[in-house]
Amino acid sequence: MAGTTDAQYLIDVWSDYVCPFCYLELPLLQQLKRELGDRLEITWHPFELRPDPEPVLDPDGPYLHNVWTDLVYPLAQERGMHLKLPPLQPRSRKAFEAAEHARVNGRFDAMHEGIFKAFFVDGRDIEDIEVLVDIGADAGLDMDDLKGLLDAGRYERRILDAEQEAADIGITAVPLMVLRKPRWRLSDGRVLRGAVGMEDIRRGLKMLEMNT
């Protein structure tokens, strides 16, 4: 997971496409990337909160409605984002497979944001291969290639290996970021848990300089 560029800072992010707080971190990191350019390298990693056979949450249950009312909607309003509680709770492995294919083909950012928007803005089923193919087409991917690899589960092993690596280093919840300098191990980085604000991220990057 080490950086492969000449970036000054590395941020590793673990997230799930069905986690609204992960989506709420996206514009902050996009803004930071615009500000720092090549000085910053951001790598997103897969983390399924409820992989099969764990039960998914009830989209009509009180737990999700309370979380969205008390936490998600206020934070979305604060950050100028328009999210709505999706009408379903899909599993996210196929979405991660699609995103990995996009990463390999240099279209990760567009696919990554597209999956989040499809679920949290449009309420689409991101477990549905046809939905993912539509998102991929908008992101500039070949539709037939994407459908074929998703049908075949070509990237599933890569996703499972990445999630096992996350488990091995003790990650149990997302969003989670590790801020570090190039050539630092993940264990040497600064960990930020949850939907942190921009000032928290900036402060974390400044702390890296103090520990250099």
Please give the model's pTM, rounded to 2 decimal places: 0.96
Check residue 3 and give its pLDDT.
43
Residue 106 neighbours by CB distance under 10 Å: 10
Percent of the chain with pLDDT over 90: 95
User: What superfamily would CATH give domain 9-210?
Assistant: Glutaredoxin (3.40.30.10)
The domain segmentation of the chain, as residue ranges, is 9-210
Q: What is the per-residue pLDDT across 176-197, written as a single tens digit (0 to 9) for each?
A: 999 999 999 999 999 999 999 9
Secondary structure (DSSP) of 57-107: P-TTSHHHHHHIIIIIHHHHHHTT------S-----HHHHHHHHHHHHTT-
Q: What is the per-residue pLDDT across 65-115, written as a single tens digit (0 to 9) for each?
A: 999 999 999 999 999 999 999 999 999 999 999 999 999 999 999 999 999
Please give the DSSP secondary-structure letter assigned to residue 37.
G
